[in-house]
Structure 1
Amino acid sequence: QGTKLLDFVSTHNGMGSFELVPSKDENYTATWKDAMGKEYSTPLPAVQEEGVTLRIKGSDAGQTFTVTRSATADEASKTLRIVAVMNQRMLYSAKANLTDVVAKSGMLPTAELPSGIMQITVLDANLKPLAERVVFINNREYEFDADVYLGVKNLEKRGLNKGEVIIADTMLSNLSLSVTDADLNAVPQYEDNIVSRFLLTGDLRGKIVNPYYYFFSTSDSANIHLNLVMLTHGWRRYNWPELLAGKLPLRTKKESNFLSIEGQLLGGEQGKIPPGTMLTGIIQAKDSTRTFISLPVDRFGRVKSDGMIFYDYAKLFFQFADTKRKFETSSLNVDNGLYKGMKSISFSAIDKMRIGGPDSTIWARNLKQASDEVKIAIQRNRKTQTLQEVIVKGKVKTEAQKMDERYTSGLFSGGDARSFDVANDPFGATSFSVFQYLQGKVAGLQISMAGGQPSLSWRGSSPVFYLNEMQSDVSLIQNINMSEVAYIKVFGPGAAGGMQTQGGGAIAVYTKKGGDVTDNSDAKGLSSLQITGYTDLKEFSSPDYATAAPTHDLPDLRTTLFWNPFIFLDKASRRYKFQFYNSDATKRFRLVLEGINIEGKFVHIEKLIQ
């Protein structure tokens, strides 16, 4: 009837809330203005004569809910069930009998729950959803203490800086540290990071402005604002009517099974390939490692095999399993199954995306940076020269050291362990198994082969087994042919570092790589083609101005001064020291430390050094 009932205003980033008790015979319209003062009118949903409302009020102890039904309601709406779901698990299920009353309240205890989004749904007696609400449980148990600082700060051109990362906890932690030019890109104070991505933005639809604000701030107002996010974003993990009807959601994206060889056999009579036709092949990676595969061929000549991992490129040697058939009149086209991406992006497409441009000063500096880098690349090529003869003196590495460098990585490399170069040990080939080979070779390690089944004990506990640094079991290690074993490392109970052990140490077994395998399966005469793998891992490098180099005469315009994505710290090693040289243009540093520990807790630290 044109009567104004109330005024409302947004309280945080365009979000707000108001309360209204509607009358069934009335229609309601919200009139509002945007930031530019333009006025809009939005009709509110039509008022229903019957229904149920759900009201939630959060506290440190839990989520208090109140369910209210209309005065007139069908029988199914008088016996309700309140269900709380979190992390794909149903945590609570409670009944509310509203036969004689119109409202009931209760509390869902949440003080001991992990932080995250909880979905609360009210179902009637027929399990039909009537009302739903999402809330955020924030118990602040998701972060662990760490710090990063510069003990030596030097903002001069090519100045040497030294810093340290330290964790307060003793849990195994995987951290990433970057040091960049703070003036090249404007970064919002509370932009999305590892904490907000895992807990909030990874689940919610739509854009959330400054999502880390809700976790960085400990004020009550931040919790109120986070509740507004829950009220305004359309988050629905489950479609109850479809689930109750037995209709499961369709998977639009398949789970990746790594690289695949998928192709087409060309030539011959298509559609008439005999059943059971098979290709056998060898995949030889860049480091000469070889993998034997079988490729079934259907009647239309299609082949597929997946679950492979290799980098850069590999060579596929192949032939028909039936050696009477040759590839004289046939050929094979294959694809690795990876997404090919867009060949180009037009400016019109960018305009449609409405990407906001950066600050004009930052934009101008980025353009100049790109132009200068092109000039330096040309100068660097001109600087290339043939050096005089250099004589390098050093200690000769032992075969054991070479094997350790060739096969081990991370927690498995170096350390206090017994190493066995099985590939060059004549007794290795004569042993029936890994365990028979190790019998009597390691003090304190008890190995029994009673009944042909190995039983191992070290200081009263059983060791943990690793095959090529992946946790394995006794039976798999027992069945490895000794001709395939290259290297074995045995870590004592006190020397296993961050490995998952039960106090009995660890035994790591490595199978031979391509260069150590006796080439009995010559690929001569086989058809072959090259296939592309994952992009090779790039190792971040930075100049060392303590040593002379011809390229040091060129301008240094690096924007990333330091980066290490693989920092592993634990009880035995809680500190990590690093150093880097400044560029010629950087005036302020941005340090960003992020990571996760073995308990699933996060850390995010960002510092501006000037």
Structure 2
Amino acid sequence: MSKKLIFLIALGFISYSNAQDKAEQALQNFEQKYPQEKIHLLFNKSSYVAGENLWFKSFVFDGYNRSTISSNLFVELYDRNKTPISKTIFPLYNGEGSGSLSLPETLKEDVYYIRAYTTWMANFNEDFQLIQPIAVYNPSSNEKLVSDTTSPWTATVFPESGTFIDGINTKFAVRLQSNGITPSDWNGYVIDSENPDVKIASFKGFDQNVGAFSLTPKSGRRYQLIVQDDKGIKQNIDLPTISASGINLQVKSKTNAITYSIKSKNYQHSSYKVLGTINNQLVYKAQIHNLSNEAVYSIPTDKLVNGILQLTVFDDKEQVVAKRLCFVQPESLKINKPSVQYTSLNDTPHEANTFTIAKNPSYSSYSVVVLDGESQDAEEERSLLSTLWLTGDITSKIYTPAQYFAKNHNAEALDALLISEKWKRFDWNTLISGSYPAIKYTPESYLSYKGKISGQPSGSSDLNFISKTDQDSGTKLYQVSTDASGNFTFNNLIFEGTMKFFYQLSGKQKTSHPVNAYVQPSYAFIPYKSNLPAGGFQLVERPSNDPLPTEVAKAVETKNFQKSLNEKTNTIEEIILKGQRKDDKRKLNQQLSSSLFRSNNEEIFDFVNDNKALVAGSNILQFLEGRVAGFRLQMQNGSYVPILRGGVTPIFLNEVKIDPSLVTNISVADVAMIKVIKDYFSGAGPGGGVQAIAIYTRQGGDIKLSEEELKLLPGLKYITLNGYDKEAVFNNAVYENVSLKNIAKDTRTTLYWNPYLETKANEPTTVKFYNNDDTKSHTLLVIGFDENDTPLYYHETRP
């Protein structure tokens, strides 16, 4: 369960009877048992050509925090007919992961769709899964993609809180939708059907999504809205029928408070209940006895997070009478921003540029992308912030949602947009009736398999699996137990590609009868049932000698450049580029620690590959003091107690919790790795933990088989299991390499890509990237999360 950053505010609260508490009780049950995940994919660029690789960094959230629910991310590629082209699976560590998709050379030019989801998300509405259209160009195709500017648009009107009542001034949102591109320049006005020549109210659209106006209706009148674009295309929309009675909820979101008023006419109950929810969690509750049209109520925002607040008004029968969405503090976004300093910046072809990110011990890694400043930027269309705070919870099509959280964003436009939306994560009436989602799929523990053996002795058995890869001379032993029928589970595996697992019964359980193991994955790709959305493009016949758009021409040249770059760098003995391939330390971490002891915020001390070894007789905990920010030793009852960030830190030896006093009994010569965990990890037991010191001995992970034992492995039976899909290596061109002097034309739009840029707590983080042939400006994107999951976000273009 994610950390809670929002608090219940109760105003005018008086105890309710059990019947009147149904809504709160139902919501609490839903929020605790049915957490909701959402996904953002950061792409290395916005469009592609057939034959390229597509790289992405994945962020999976549980509400507004990185999710610890799922450990696997499923990513699929479809054509416009929903025919699957590829299906891949990648691991998640504390809600983050990365991967790549290969776009076949044979793909015809068209719009394709990336689907991303977790197994847990498949229990809920498919509309909340990520479906991302991407344009894939192929100059050899007979048809080409063009923006769809001809599909008709439609306008819909939405009265604030859903009611339109005689004599109550009401704010309306006007929403545009289209299978193609909606107009950016449009306006509208309201007329009375009895006097059509007089404009009662008029407005200009805020953007391609929404506009707004206000109107005080009079009973018996019929109002009509006329909307027109800059091409003169018009639509006439009838406003809702005016009600003689009802309630209208009016909301204003300000920096210090959200204020609301409840206007009523000919509608009176003994009391009303107002509930406010953020991310399916109750954050506000009030009871109003004497309803007044002049009363204004205030919800302080100092204890609320940025996000969508749903205010709902119930009558004394606990029936919903009005509801409204608004955004908390739209003009005061709680985003951390790193201090970025360019130490060298130029526009000379192939020259190096260097910048630093100021040291900050709250961050163990960043996702960093540098783009040619003149190229298209996928984050300008859909940003991490817009996914986190808007589109991850709103299922309708929104054009360029990133604009609502960019510099100089229009808070009034965002408010109008939310008037036109409904919260679809749950429905109050459904919850109160006791109807909840049916849970069919449970999250896996990374790669999980179920199997059965035949030929075992009677009763349960222990089965040993020994893994060995061609790339790694190390071996690892796993032991699983079978039931009396020979069934077993094989969980918590993390490996790429395929791997052989040799197996045999353990110890005295060996039998002269042949033992055969049959294994199949416990996880599965889940079919997508919904229709794919419109992609915003049309296919038209490609004329002969048709010139390629600049962006497409660059992409074709970049594909050739990357091919030449890979061929040249593959001939170099040491081509491991910093931050792109797993170094020895990361490999050791994967060998020794299980996924339960993985965290996005961890500091690793490697005594296998690093010359800096522990000195015999030294104290392991004293070694960490002065090397780990916020760590100190405190003497308690004659023993040292580790303190990290003000709290006593548990110690694990080979992932078994031990008393701090036992650390001195560990032979430092046997220590292979020490890991200081500073964020959530699940290995601490029920509910997980947020910090730990994990000590691994040289016998803690790998096992060393004798030469005789290694010779016996080929004689054992084995199974071959499919692991995670391999992520292609992203080759950042390093022009200091002399072999790159005579290379194809460099038109790269992505100048630097690093989904996991590791930081050092006590010094700035340095990034070096190289220009293409004609770079004049750079767009820099830096994303990170601190221990409280507050987003760090930097998105700037510099000349």
Provide the rounded CA distance (Å) in 1 between the counterparts of 2:538 and 2:661.
Answer: 57
Give the aligned partner of residue 554 of structure 2. 365
SS class of match (2:212)? coil
SS class of match (1:18)? strand
Question: Which range is displaced more, 578-587 or 156-165?
Answer: 578-587
Does residue 1:560 correspond to 2:750, yes or no? yes
Provide the rounded CA distance (Å) in 2 between the counterparts of 1:19 and 1:459.
Answer: 59
Could you tell me which amino acid in structure 2 is paired with residue 15 of structure 1? V
From 722, 737, 754, the equivalent of 1:532 is 722
Q: 1:506-556: per-residue Cα shift (whole Å, max 9, x none)?
A: 85411436655456897575421111222356665545444544x643326
Distance 1:127 1:20, change over 3 A: same
Give the aligned partner of residue 134 of structure 1. 325
> Scaled by the length of structure 1, what TM-score is found?
0.71
Q: Report the identity percentage.
A: 19
From 139, 159, 166, the equivalent of 2:358 is 166
Give the aligned partner of residue 310 of structure 1. 495
| Contact 2:277–2:310 (CA under 8 A) maintained in structure 1 | yes
SS class of match (1:365)? helix
Distance 1:115 1:594, change over 3 A: same
Give the aligned partner of residue 433 of structure 2. 245
Give the aligned partner of residue 151 of structure 1. 343
| Contact 2:308–2:327 (CA under 8 A) maintained in structure 1 | yes
Residue 581 of structure 1 and its aligned partner are, at CA, apart by: 3.1
Does residue 1:457 correspond to 2:647, yes or no? no
Give the aligned partner of residue 381 of structure 2. 191
| Contact 1:82–1:93 (CA under 8 A) maintained in structure 2 | yes
From 582, 586, 591, the equivalent of 2:771 is 582
CA-atom RMSD in angstroms = 5.2
Distance 1:275 1:194, change over 3 A: farther
Could you tell me which amino acid in structure 1 is paired with residue 417 of structure 2? V
Provide the rounded CA distance (Å) in 1 between the counterparts of 2:258 and 2:744.
Answer: 60
Give the aligned partner of residue 19 of structure 1. 214
Residue 147 of structure 1 and its aligned partner are, at CA, apart by: 3.4
- May I ask how many residue pairs the two structures share in their alignment? 547
From 276, 288, 305, the equivalent of 1:114 is 305
Q: 1:421-444: per-residue Cα shift (whole Å, max 9, x none)?
A: 9xxx9x9xxxxxxx9x97999999
> Structure 2: where are the runs of 5+ without partners?
1-191, 540-546, 575-584, 594-600, 626-631, 681-690
Provide the rounded CA distance (Å) in 1 between the counterparts of 2:623 and 2:513.
Answer: 51
| Contact 1:317–1:526 (CA under 8 A) maintained in structure 2 | yes
Residue 15 of structure 1 and its aligned partner are, at CA, apart by: 1.1
| Contact 2:257–2:299 (CA under 8 A) maintained in structure 1 | yes
SS class of match (1:367)? helix
Q: 1:308-334: per-residue Cα shift (whole Å, max 9, x none)?
A: 323333322345787548457x66252
Distance 1:350 1:181, change over 3 A: farther
| Contact 2:457–2:511 (CA under 8 A) maintained in structure 1 | no
Could you tell me which amino acid in structure 1 is paired with residue 339 of structure 2? D
Q: Report 1:86-101 matches (<5 A).
A: 86-98=278-290
Could you tell me which amino acid in structure 1 is paired with residue 718 of structure 2? S
Does residue 1:214 correspond to 2:404, yes or no? yes
SS class of match (2:358)? strand
Provide the rounded CA distance (Å) in 2 between the counterparts of 1:318 and 1:151.
Answer: 56
| Contact 1:485–1:510 (CA under 8 A) maintained in structure 2 | no
Question: Which range is displaced more, 576-585 or 90-99?
Answer: 576-585
Distance 1:334 1:556, change over 3 A: farther
Does residue 1:510 correspond to 2:696, yes or no? yes
SS class of match (1:53)? strand
Residue 230 of structure 1 and its aligned partner are, at CA, apart by: 1.4
Give the aligned partner of residue 200 of structure 2. 6
Distance 1:360 1:545, change over 3 A: closer
Residue 47 of structure 1 and its aligned partner are, at CA, apart by: 4.6
Provide the rounded CA distance (Å) in 1 between the counterparts of 2:719 and 2:492.
Answer: 19
| Contact 2:678–2:787 (CA under 8 A) maintained in structure 1 | no
- Structure with the greater alpha carbon radius of gyration: 1
Residue 278 of structure 1 and its aligned partner are, at CA, apart by: 6.1
Distance 1:510 1:28, change over 3 A: same
Q: 1:148-181: per-residue Cα shift (whole Å, max 9, x none)?
A: 34322343332233322226x6643632222233
Provide the rounded CA distance (Å) in 1 between the counterparts of 2:441 and 2:206.
Answer: 35
| Contact 1:85–1:92 (CA under 8 A) maintained in structure 2 | yes
Provide the rounded CA distance (Å) in 2 between the counterparts of 1:58 and 1:294.
Answer: 56
Provide the rounded CA distance (Å) in 1 between the counterparts of 2:383 and 2:633.
Answer: 46
Could you tell me which amino acid in structure 2 is paired with residue 225 of structure 1? A
SS class of match (1:6)? strand
Could you tell me which amino acid in structure 2 is paired with residue 590 of structure 1? T
Residue 467 of structure 1 and its aligned partner are, at CA, apart by: 4.0
Distance 1:516 1:445, change over 3 A: farther
Residue 305 of structure 1 and its aligned partner are, at CA, apart by: 3.8
SS class of match (2:214)? coil
Give the aligned partner of residue 393 of structure 1. none
Residue 123 of structure 1 and its aligned partner are, at CA, apart by: 0.8
Does residue 1:40 correspond to 2:235, yes or no? yes
Provide the rounded CA distance (Å) in 1 between the counterparts of 2:700 and 2:785.
Answer: 32
SS class of match (1:332)? strand
Distance 1:281 1:356, change over 3 A: farther
From 568, 572, 589, the equivalent of 2:762 is 572
> Scaled by the length of structure 2, what TM-score is found?
0.56
> Structure 1: where are the runs of 5+ without partners?
343-348, 388-399, 428-434
Provide the rounded CA distance (Å) in 1 between the counterparts of 2:624 and 2:252.
Answer: 63
| Contact 2:476–2:703 (CA under 8 A) maintained in structure 1 | no
Between Structure 1 and Structure 2, which shows a larger proportion of strand residues?
2
Provide the rounded CA distance (Å) in 2 between the counterparts of 1:247 and 1:275.
Answer: 46
| Contact 1:336–1:532 (CA under 8 A) maintained in structure 2 | no
Give the aligned partner of residue 118 of structure 2. none
Distance 1:468 1:274, change over 3 A: closer
Could you tell me which amino acid in structure 1 is paired with residue 784 of structure 2? G
Could you tell me which amino acid in structure 2 is paired with residue 117 of structure 1? I
Larger relative contact order (C-alpha < 8 A, sep ≥ 6)?
1
Provide the rounded CA distance (Å) in 2 between the counterparts of 1:366 and 1:441.
Answer: 51
Provide the rounded CA distance (Å) in 2 between the counterparts of 1:278 and 1:370.
Answer: 54
Q: 1:57-100: per-residue Cα shift (whole Å, max 9, x none)?
A: 23333122111333145xxx44110111124332221111247x
| Contact 2:481–2:488 (CA under 8 A) maintained in structure 1 | yes
Could you tell me which amino acid in structure 2 is paired with residue 316 of structure 1? F
Q: Report 1:152-301 matches (<5 A).
A: 152-166=344-358, 171-172=362-363, 174-183=365-374, 185-187=375-377, 190-217=380-407, 222-251=410-439, 254-262=442-450, 280-284=463-467, 286=469, 287=472, 288-294=474-480, 296=482
Residue 227 of structure 1 and its aligned partner are, at CA, apart by: 0.9
Does residue 1:68 correspond to 2:263, yes or no? yes
Q: Report 1:541-552 matches (<5 A).
A: 541-549=731-739, 552=741
From 453, 475, 487, the equivalent of 2:671 is 487
Could you tell me which amino acid in structure 2 is paired with residue 242 of structure 1? T
Residue 259 of structure 1 and its aligned partner are, at CA, apart by: 0.9
| Contact 1:327–1:527 (CA under 8 A) maintained in structure 2 | no
Question: Which range is displaced more, 586-595 or 404-413?
Answer: 404-413
Residue 207 of structure 1 and its aligned partner are, at CA, apart by: 3.2
| Contact 1:456–1:463 (CA under 8 A) maintained in structure 2 | no
Question: Which range is displaced more, 117-126 or 64-73?
Answer: 64-73
